[in-house]
Each structure stands twice: as structure tokens, then as C-alpha cells.
Chains A and B, each alone.
Chain A
Amino acid sequence: DIVMTQSPDSLAVSLGERATINCKSSQSILYSSNNKNYLAWFQQKPGQPPKLLIYWASTRESGVPDRFSGSESGTDFTLTISSLQAEDVAVYYCQQYYSPPYNFGQGTKLEIK
């Protein structure tokens, strides 16, 4: 099974500052035929289902603000919020969809400092 490990578990950032969340896969999730990493990022606010932010590691979902971006380097993935807004307080999860079981990371709780 592919294990997804996020860091940190929690993060406090000042409004307007950059927030960075990391996710590492235990093995490659790069599909060679299309050169895409099968990695998604989700945002979950209290009492709500998760919402897709990023897929293919770096493609922003339609309607997601451009302050959210995803990047990749080998088996290391990063979600960056360039300028934190109050509405970004949430738990963020990465998920690999390369091979079953399609595991999630443990989540990163983002708060305002």
C-alpha cells in the first residue's frame, strides 16, 4: 500500500502570510504514460464534506481561488496558500489515486495565528 504522510499536523499562520503544507508518498505515484502524479488536495471545513482544490498534483479545480497552488518534486508534494484568508481555516488532506487503496494523508489543521 502507498502511505501518504503529511506535515505538519497543524499550522498557525497570520492573515496575509503564506501557508505551506507538505505531503510525501511512500512510493512513486507518477503514471509514466501521461507523466502525471495522481495526487489530489482537499479542504474540509467543520461540518462540511471535503472540497477538491487541486488534482494531478498541480491543476487547480475550477472556481478555486488562485492563491491555492500545488507543486511536486518526486514523491514530495506541496500545497501553498500564498496569502492566507480567514475563510481558509480548515483541515487539508492529500490523497493518492494511483493505486488502491487510495489512501489519504492524516490531515493538516490550518489556523490563524
Chain B
Amino acid sequence: EVQLVESGGGLVQPGGSLRLSCAASGFTFSDHYIDWVRQAPGKGLEWVGRSKNKANGYTTEYAASVKGRFTISRDDSKSTLYLQMNSLKSEDTAVYYCTRWTAGRCDYWGQGTLVTVSS
């Protein structure tokens, strides 16, 4: 069974840092693109960034709103994707989801982890 489990969310002060994890199971992690998508409270979905698969050199892509502050990395030996978030702002408050892409479709989402940036 495919599973994506996010963790690492919590309360952090503006300007602080946090690292989210997305632990995957039930599939060959290195074969898949994995995205981070966030959703601010009561708002819509916002694409945050992507880690491509091993065949595509683990290339990363970022939304302009997080580029230079957020970094995506992955450890295929642990089947885990990370989102390192630095210089956090109040507008980064959101539920963060990791999602799996397979053959041109986003077929699995985790349950999300809540990040709250507040003093």
C-alpha cells in the first residue's frame, strides 16, 4: 500500500527555520517525482516545489514565493523527502502536503503537517 506521511510541523517564530519530512512506503521512491503543496488556513492550494526522480537527476524546482528560502532534498535510502524552510514568514503558515507523481498524474497525497509561523 502506498503511503506518504508528513512530519515536522509545528509553531515557529518569524525568521526561524523548520525541516519537514515526507516518509514514503509501498513503492520505489527513487522512481517518482515528489511535490510539496501547501494550503493556508481556509485558502486554496499552492504548489511549493518538486524533486524529480533519480532518472532525472533529482532536479528541484521551486515556487517564486519560496525560492532561496526553502530547499528540497531526498534520501532514497530512507525513502524520505525533506523540505528545509528558512527565514519563515507569517504567510508560510499552512498545511504542507507531499504528493507523488506517476506517469503524468498526481496520484497520492499525504495527510499533511501544519506549520504555524507566529510570535
Contacts and interface: CB of A to CB of B under 8 A. Distances in A.
Interface of A: 1, 36, 38, 40, 42, 44, 49-52, 55-56, 59, 61, 91, 93, 95, 97, 100-107
A65 to B, nearest CB: 17
Contacts of B107: 52, 61
Nearest to A101: B63
Nearest to A99: B61
Contacts of A40: 105-106
A56 B106 CA distance: 11
A55 B64 contact: no
Contact of A49 (B63, B105, B112): B112
Residue from B62, B109, B111 with most neighbouring chain A CB atoms (10 Å): B109
A55 B102 CA distance: 11
Interface of B: 35, 44-47, 50, 61-64, 97, 101, 104-107, 109-112
A105 B45 CA distance: 8
Contacts of B35: 102
A106 B47 CA distance: 12
A14 B86 CA distance: 47
3 closest A-B pairs by beta carbon, nearest first, are: A55-B105, A49-B109, A104-B45
Contacts of A56: 104-105
A18 to B, nearest CB: 24
A93 B70 CA distance: 25
Nearest to A102: B47
B47 A93 contact: no
A97 to B, nearest CB: 7
Contacts of A49: 97, 109-112
Given A51-B109, A97-B104, 12 more contacts: A40-B105, A50-B109, A52-B107, A55-B105, A56-B105, A59-B105, A93-B44, A102-B47, A103-B47, A104-B47, A105-B44, A107-B45
